[in-house]
Structure 1
Amino acid sequence: MSERHPLRSDPLDDRFRTALTQALAHVTAESDARNVWQALGDSGVLRALYQDADTADASVDVARLEALLHAVDALGNNGLTLTVLVQAASALPLLSAGTTAATRALRERALDGRATVALAATDSAAPGSDLTALGTEVRWDKRTPHLSGGKRWVTGAHSADHLLVLARHRPGRHFTSFTWVLVPALADGVRIEPVDTGGLLGSADLGHVHLDDVRLSEDHLVGRPGWAMASFAQHMATERLAGAQWAVALLRRILSATRRHLVSRAVGEATLWHNPAIRQDFAGCLVKTEQLRALVETTVRAADGPPDMNTAALLKAAAGQITDDVLSRCAQLQGADGMTTGGAHHVRAEAAVLGLGGGATELMLAHVADTAETLLDDPLPVP
C-alpha cells in the first residue's frame, strides 16, 4: 500500500485548509492562472485533492474540491476560478486514465503545479450539446496519429502547456468512436485564436483552437480508444457538482457585498437596508442561495463522492437558475454601483457560464424531466 499523502487524513481537515490558505496567501485577483495553479501545486493542495492521485484511478475528493473553489472564489476573479475548476474537476481526472510515459509525466507535473492542461471538448463542427457530431478527428499514417479539426471556447487555452482534445477515431455517432488526445500547445499545426469576451472572464484565457494536421506519437493517446465518451460522462458529473459548489460561494460573496451596499447607503435618516421591501427581496435571495447550498451538501453526503448523472443534471439546472435569479436581483439592489467592474451586473454576465458550460440549463431541465419518475421515486436521503 502506498504511503498516504500527509494532507489526506480527513476530507476537511485542518491540514488541508492550512495548506490551502498558505497556497493563496500571496495570490491576488490580478494573478494569472498559471501562477495560481503553481501556488496550489507547491503547497501540496493539488495532490491532496485526489484519492489515488498517482494512479489511473484518481478521483476528486468532492468535499476538498468545495473548499478549494470557495477559497479561490474569495479572490474575486471569476476567470481564475473557472480555470481552476475545469482543470481540477475534469482535465486532471481525465488525464489520469493515460498510461503512456507522456501522459504520466504530464500528470505528475500538473499535480506539482508545474504544468497546466486545457480541456478541449466543445467542437467547431457541432453545437456543444452534441459532442457525438464533432468533426475533430485523429487518423493514422502507419503508427503516427494525425489530428485535424477545431475546438471552441476552451478555458485556459492561452495559458495551457497541453490541450486534452476529444476527437473521433472512426466515423459515426456511436459513443465508442471517440478518444482523448494529448496535444502540446506549441506543437506544429496548433493555432490558438483569442476570444473577445468584452472584458468578461479575462483571466480564464479563453480561446478557439485550430488543429491543422498535428502530428503526434501514439504516446499522446490518453486511455483506450473508444472509451473517451464514457470517461467524459463520468467526470462531467463531478464538474457539474463543482459548478454548483462554486455557485454557492459566488452567490454568498455577492450577497455579502450587496448587504454592505444596502447598509451603507443613506436614505433620509436611515439606510436602504431599513426599507422592508428591500429587506424582503434580499432575504428571498438568501433563501434561494441556502437552498442551493443545502442541495449541494445533501448530494455530497448522500453520494459519498461524485453524484450520478441524474443528480448532477439536477444540481446544474438548479445552479443555473438560482445564480441568474439571485444575481439579477442583487444587481437591482446595488443600483448604479452594480454597473461597476465587480458589481452584480458584471458578475451576473460572467456567471452566465454556470448556465452554459458543461451543458446549458435548458438541456439539464430536459434531462430532469426525462428522469422525473426516478427522481421522485428515489429522492436524495436526508443526511
Structure 2
Amino acid sequence: MPDTTAVPDATAVPDTTAAPDTTAAPDATALWRKLGDEGALRDLYEGPRTDPGLGLDPFALRDLLASLDAGHGLGTTLGVCVQAASALPILLGRRGRDGGTVARVAERAVAGRAVVAFAATDAGAAGSDLTALTTRVELDGDEVRLDGGKQWIVNATTADHALVLARHRPGDHFTSFTLLLVPAGRDGVGRAAAPTRFFAGSGLGELTFDGVRLDRSHVIGRPGQGLAEFARRMASERLASALWASALCRRVLSDLHERLTARTMRDRPLWEIGSVRQRFARALLEQRRLDALCESACRQGRPSPAQAMLLKAAGGETVRLVLDEAAQLHGADGFAVGGLQELRAEAAMFGIAGGTTETMLDGVADHAPELLERAS
C-alpha cells in the first residue's frame, strides 16, 4: 500500500504545474499550418537522419513532441502526433508509387496545408480488433463505393482528408482490407464530435460513410494491401507514443520537483521529507528507464514488431505510474480545473489508444525469446 503518511494537504496553494497554459482555445489546424510554414514537417520526413523503415527522423520526432508537450494541451499535441507519426508516413511512403491524388495530398500535408485523419477504429467492432471491422468498400472497375463508420478518430472534425481502413471482401485474412484516401467534403461523408469533454483541440470525433463514391485514384496501394501497409507503419506510431510519454513524464516531474522544493510543512520543505523524496525518486526511475529505451530505439532505427510493442507498453505503464505518484503528491490541488487529475485522466489514453497495454504485453510475451536474445 502506498505510504501517504507524509503527503501534504495541498489545498492552500493553487496548482500551476500540471499542464501547459491552455487558456486560449486550442487550434491544432493552425498549429499544423505553423509547423508546415516553419519547415518542421519537411525536416521530419526529408532530413538527413530520416530512417527509411520509419519514414521519418526519430530524433526530430522526439524533439517535436517534447516541444509540443511543453507548450500545448494534450489534445492539441495529439492532433499533431497522429498525423505526424501515423497518417503522413503512409501517404509519403506511397506518393512515389501511387502518384496523383495521393502525391498531391501528401505534399499539401507536409506543407501544413491539409489535415489528414487516420480512421482505423471501427464503429462496428471492438477498437483493438481491426480484422472484425464492418466498414466496407466495393471495388467496381474505376469506381469505389464506401459505406460504414469510424469512431474515436483524432482530427475527424477538422480533417480535409481521411485515411480509411475498410474491408473489400468477407473474412479476417489480412488481404481482405484496403486503405482509401477520402476527401472529408465528399457527398455521403458525415462527421460529428465525440461525446467527451477530454482532448480539447484534437478534433476527436466520428466519421460516417453513406454510399461515398470515389475514383480508383483514392485507393492506397493495391486492394488487399491496406492492413499490411498499416502494420508496416505501426512502428513509427508506437515509437511516437513512447517518446511523447517520456517527454510528458519528464515535464510533470520537473514541475513537481519545483513544487516540492518551494512548499513547506511546519517550516520544513516538503522535499526534505523522506517518504516524499522516495515516491518522487520511484517515479523518476520509471521515467529514466523509458527515456533510455526510447534513446536506444531512436539510435537503432525502425524497431521490430516485438520492440515496438515493448515501447508502447513501456510508455503506457510509465505514464500511469508517474502520474499516479505525482497526483498523490499534488494532494487536493490536483482536482482543480486544469489540475493534474485532469491530465491524469486524459493521459490514460497512452495505455488504450493504438493498442491497450494488456494487448502489447501479450505480444511482448509471445516474442520473449527474441527480446531476450537481443538483450543478451
Task: Give distance in 1, aligned partners of 2:23 and 2:286.
Answer: 29
* 2:162 is the alignment partner of 1:163: yes
Q: Is the 8 A contact 1:29 1:76 kept in 2?
A: no
- 1:138 aligns with 137
Q: How many aligned residue pairs are there?
A: 350
Relative to structure 2, which stretch is displaced further, 341-350 or 37-46?
A: 341-350
TM-score, structure 2 length as denominator?
0.89
Q: Structure 1 residue 344: deviation in Å?
A: 2.0
Q: Deviations over 1:255-300 (max 9, x none)?
A: 1222222222221112222211101111111111001101111122
- Residue type of the partner of 1:49? L
Match of 1:240 among 238, 241, 259: 238
1:337 positional shift:
1.4
Alignment of 1:46-65 (within 5 A): 46-51=41-46, 59-65=55-61
Counterpart residue number, 2:34: 39
Distance 1:191 1:159 in 2: 12
Residue identity in the other structure for 1:220: H
CA–CA separation in structure 1 for the residues paired with 2:215 and 2:130: 25
Greater relative contact order, per chain length (Cα 8 Å cut-off, separation 6+): 2
The match for 2:146 is 147
- Counting aligned pairs with the same residue, the percent is 48
Which consecutive unaligned segments of at least 5 residues does structure 2 have?
A: 1-21
Q: What is the alpha-carbon distance in structure 2 between the residues aligned to residue 136 and residue 87 of structure 1?
A: 21
> In structure 2, the residue corresponding to 1:307 is in which secondary structure?
coil
Task: Specify the code of the residue in structure 1 equivalent to 2:341.
Answer: H
Matched, 1:314 2:313: no
- The correspondence of residues 245-324 of structure 1 with structure 2, limited to 5 A, is 245-301=243-299, 303=300, 305-324=301-320
Tell me what 1:115 maps to.
114
Do the aligned partners of residues 251 and 352 (structure 1) sit closer, same or farther apart at CA in structure 2, a change above 3 Å counting? same
Asked if the contact 1:179/1:224 (under 8 Å) is kept, the reply is yes
Match of 2:14 in 1: none
Moved over 6 A (4+): none
What's 1:208 paired with? 206
Distance of 1:95 and 1:28 partners within structure 2 = 34
Post-superposition shift, 1:103?
1.2
1:132: Cα distance to partner? 1.0
Q: Which amino acid aligns with 2:223?
A: P
2:8: which partner in 1?
A: none
CA distance in 1 between partners of 2:136 and 2:81 (Å): 27
Q: Render the CA deviation track for 1:71-99: whole Å, top value 9, x for unaligned.
A: 11111410111111110111011112141
Could you state the TM-score of these two structures normalised by the residue count of structure 1? Answer: 0.87
Identify the range of structure 1 (184-193 vs 338-347) with the bigger mean alpha-carbon deviation: 338-347
Looking at structure 2, the residues matched to 349 and 245 of structure 1 have their Cα atoms a distance apart, in angstroms, of 19
> Counterpart in 2 of 1:6?
none
Where 1:165 maps in the other structure, the secondary structure is: strand
1:174-230 residue CA offsets vs partner (Å, 9 max, x unmatched): 111111111111111111121122x21111110011111111111111122211111
Contact 1:100 / 1:220 at 8 angstroms: preserved in 2?
no
* CA deviations over 1:16-61 (Å, ceiling 9, x no partner): xxxxxxxxxxx9974401111000000111111114899x998111
- Distance 1:50-1:270 versus aligned 2 partners, 3 A rule: same
Unaligned regions of 5+ residues in structure 1, if any? 1-26
Distance verdict in 2 for CA 1:44–1:121, change over 3 Å: same
Q: CA–CA distance in 1 between the matches of 2:247 and 2:116?
A: 24
Note the 1:21-100 alignment, pairs <5 A: 30-51=25-46, 59-96=55-92, 97-98=94-95, 99-100=98-99
1:103: which partner in 2? Answer: 102
Contact 1:292 1:322 in 2 (8 A): yes
Question: For the structure 1 residues 28 and 103, does the alpha-carbon distance in structure 2 shift closer, same or farther, using more than 3 Å as the test?
Answer: farther
Change (3 A) 1:29 1:320: farther
Change (3 A) 1:234 1:341: farther
